[in-house]
Structure 1
Amino acid sequence: MSTQQTAPTTYISTAPGVTTAYRLLQPSSPTTKIPLLLHIHFRANMDFWDPAFINPLAQHRPLLLFDQPGTGRSTGTVATTFAGWASSAAALLTALEIEKCDVLGFSMGGCCVQMLALGWPGLVRKLILAGTGASAPPEGFEGRGSGLVWPRDVPPRWAIAGLASARGRVQMEEAIRWSFFPGNEEGASAARRYWGRVYERKGVAAGKEEEEGLWELLGDEGSARQREAYAEWMRPNPGNSFERLGELKMPVLVVNGVEDLLIPTSRSWELVKGIRDAGLIVYRGAGHGFLWQYPKEVAGDVGRFLDGGSGGMKARM
C-alpha cells in the first residue's frame, strides 16, 4: 500500500502550459475502485495532508492528492475564482481518465469542490465538505429559517494575516498552530504531533528535496490571488454555491470542529440547511484543524460515509 509518507509525486499536463503535480495512493486490498480526490486549504500544497488522516483512508480506496495550478509543484497561475479552481480539478480528472470519484475539500478546498460538484455533477459520487462554508447569500438575506443573519460570523483578522504572511517553516508552524488549533495546551500538543507526522515524508527528515517541496509556499502574488478568490466567494453571486446548494443531489457529509476560527462552525449548519441529502458531524474541543487534531476519528467517519448509503445521517457531536 502506498502512503502519504512514501507515494511518489507524478506530473501530468492538464492545460496548455500547465503541468499538475499529483499523488495517487493505491490500497493493497481495495474495497472500491472509486478514487477519493482531496483538495487542501489556503496556501498549502499536498505535503500538508496529515499521514494519520490520509493513510487509514488509503487502506481501502485509491486516494488522489494534487496541487492546484500555481501552487506547490504545479505550474500555471492561481485562479481568482473557485469556479476556476474547480475547472482545474475537473481537468486533472479528465487527464487521468477518471469518470467518477468521491471528493473531499478542506477550507478553501471545500469552496472549490462545491463548484466542482455543481459544475460537473456527473463526476462526483459523494461529497465531503470539511471546515468550509457556502458562498455569500443574495442581498437582503436574513436566514433560511435557521436564525442565521448576514453578515455572519467572521474570522479574526490576526488569524488570516498570520497565515497570509508566514514565510518558511517556523512562521507557518506558528500560524497554523494558533489559527487551526485551540489556544490551550491540548491544542499546542495536537499541533506538535501534526507537524511531526508531516515531517515523516521520505526525505524530509534528511533535509532533502521533499522538504524544499513542503515549504514551496505561495508567494505574495499567489497568496493574494487565493484571497481574491475567497473575496469573490463572499460577494453575492447567483452563480456561486449559496443559491445553488439545492442542486447538489449526491450524498454530502459536512464535518467541522466546534471551535473553528477561520470558517465559523455556523456555516456548516448553513450548508446542511441548504443541501437535502446532507449529514453533519462536529467534533468537540477541535478548531479549524479538526482533521489533524482527530485524524483517525475523522478518517473513520469519512470512510463509513463513503462505504455507506446516503448522507442524511443525524447531526452529532
Structure 2
Amino acid sequence: MSTYETAKDQFIDVKGVKYAYRYFGASTGTTLVFNVHFRGTSDHWDPDLINPIASTRPVLLIDNSGVGRSGGEIPDSFTGWAQNIVDVIEALNIKEVDVLGFSMGGFVAQLIALNCPHLVRKLILAGTGPSAGPGVQGGKPEYFGLLAAAATEEEYHNGFLKTFYSLSDKKQSLGELWWKRMTSARPNRVDYVGPEGTQRQIAAVMKWAGGEFREEGSYDRLDQIKIPVLIANGSNDVLVPTENSWILWKRLVNAEAHLHLFPDSGHGFLNEYADIFSKEIITFLDA
C-alpha cells in the first residue's frame, strides 16, 4: 500500500487542463478527498495526519488548476475551485466520495457538498467557517498578511508557525516538529503558490468573506446540507476564528453535525493533534 511519502504523482487532462493528483491508500472503502489551505499544494500535508487515514481507505489529493504541478489558472472564486475538484473526481470515474477541507479548502469543501450533493457522502470541515453572514468574524489581518506576503523559505516557516501555532515555547516546538515532518516527507517538493496565484486566491477569499457575492458563498445555503458533517478547530484560531466553527455548526440545521474544539491550540490543531484527529476522522467516516 502506498503512503503519503511514496504515492506517485499522476496526471489527468480535464477540459483542456492537466491536473496533478495522488490516489493512494487502502484498496477498499469510500475515497476521502483532501482540499488544502491557502497557498498550499499536495506537498503541504502532514504525513502523521494522512497516513493513518490512508491505511483504512483510499485517499485522493488534487492540485487545483494553477496550483503545484497542475496546469491552467487559479480560479478567482471558490465556486470555480469546487467545480474543478468535481471535474477531476468525475474524470477519474469515482461515483461517491467523502470530502475534507482545511482552512480555505473548507470553503471549497462546503461548495462541493452544496453544488454536487449526489457525489458527497460525508463532510469534514477543519479550521474553517461559512462565508459572510451575521456573526461571522474575520481573522486578524496581520496574521493573514504574514502568509500572503511570504516569499522565502524562512518567511514561509515563520509565517506558518506564528499563525498555525500559539506563541508559547512549547507550542512553537510542536510546530517545528510538524514543519520537519512536512518538509522532509517527499523529495522534489513544489513551492507554495506564487505571487500571481496568491492574488487570485485572495480575490476568491474576498468574495467569500466580503458579503458582496452571497451567491458565491455558503452561509445562506447551509441548511441544504443533509449529510453527516464533522467540524473541528483549535480553541484559539487567529486565521479563521474559532467562533466561525460554532456558527457553521449552528447553521447546519438539517445535517447530522458534530463539533470538536481541540484545547489550547490554533489553526494548526490538525497537525498538533494529528494522532487524535486522524482517529476521530476514521471513526466518523466508519460510523
Normalised by the size of structure 2, how large is the TM-score?
0.96
Is it true that 1:243 corresponds to 2:242 in the alignment? no
Aligned to 1:283: 262
Partner residue, 1:26: 25
SS at match of 2:101: strand
Asked whether the equivalents of residues 238 and 244 of structure 1 are also in contact (C-alpha less than 8 Å), the reply is no
Matching residue of 1:297: 276
Pairing 1:1-317 to 2, within 5 Å after superposition: 1-16=1-16, 18-27=17-26, 32-137=28-133, 141=134, 149=135, 152-203=136-187, 210-211=188-189, 213=190, 215=191, 217-236=192-211, 237-239=213-215, 240-276=217-253, 277-308=256-287
Change in Cα spacing, 1:120 to 1:193, as seen in structure 2 (3 Å) is same
Superposition RMSD on alpha carbons, in Å?
1.2
In the alignment, the residues of structure 2 paired with residue 224 and residue 112 of structure 1 have an alpha-carbon distance, to the nearest angstrom, of 17
- TM superposition shift of 1:202: 3.8
SS where residue 23 of structure 1 aligns?
strand
Q: Aligned-pair distance for 1:199?
A: 2.8
Total equivalences in the alignment: 283
After superposition, the C-alpha distances for 1:274-293 in whole angstroms (9 at most, x for unaligned) are 11321100000111011111
Letter in 1 for 2:19: T
Quote how far apart the aligned CAs of 1:106 are.
0.3
Q: Give the Cα separation in 1 of the matches to 2:56 and 2:171.
A: 30
Cα shift at 1:178: 0.2
Cα distance between partner residues in 2 of 1:47 and 1:305: 25
Q: Distance in 2 between matches of 1:22 and 1:156?
A: 32
Amino acid at match of 1:47: D
Give, in angstroms, the shift of residue 120 of structure 1: 0.4
Name the SS of the counterpart of 2:118 in structure 1: helix
Amino acid at match of 2:250: K
Q: Residue 196 of structure 1: CA displacement?
A: 1.4
Segments of structure 2 that go 5 or more residues without pairing to the other structure are: none
Q: Percent identity?
A: 38
Matching residue's letter, 1:114: Q
Shift of 1:61: 0.2
CA distance in structure 1 between the partners assigned to 2:148 and 2:186 by the alignment = 27
Q: How far is 1:65 from its partner?
A: 0.7
SS at match of 1:121: coil
SS in 2 for 1:44: coil
Question: Could you list the per-position Cα deviations for residues 159-183 of structure 1 after superposition, in whole angstroms to 9, with x for gaps in the alignment?
Answer: 1111011113221111000001011
AA of the residue aligned to 2:56: H
Shift of 1:238: 4.0
CA distance in 1, matches of 2:225, 2:257: 9
Contact 1:5/1:200 (8 A) holds in 2:
no
Alpha-carbon distance in 2 for matches of 1:64, 1:174: 29
**Greater Cα radius of gyration, structure 1 or 2:** 1
Task: Check conservation: 2:41, 2:193, Cα contact below 8 A.
Answer: no
1:6–1:168: structure 2 CA closer, same or farther, 3 Å change rule? farther
TM-score normalized with structure 1 length: 0.87
> For the residues of structure 2 that align with 1:201 and 1:181, how far apart are their CA atoms?
20
Contact 2:132-2:214 at 8 Å conserved across structures: no
1:267–1:290 CA distance, 2 compared to 1 (3 A):
same
- Residue 201 of structure 1 deviates from its aligned partner by 2.4
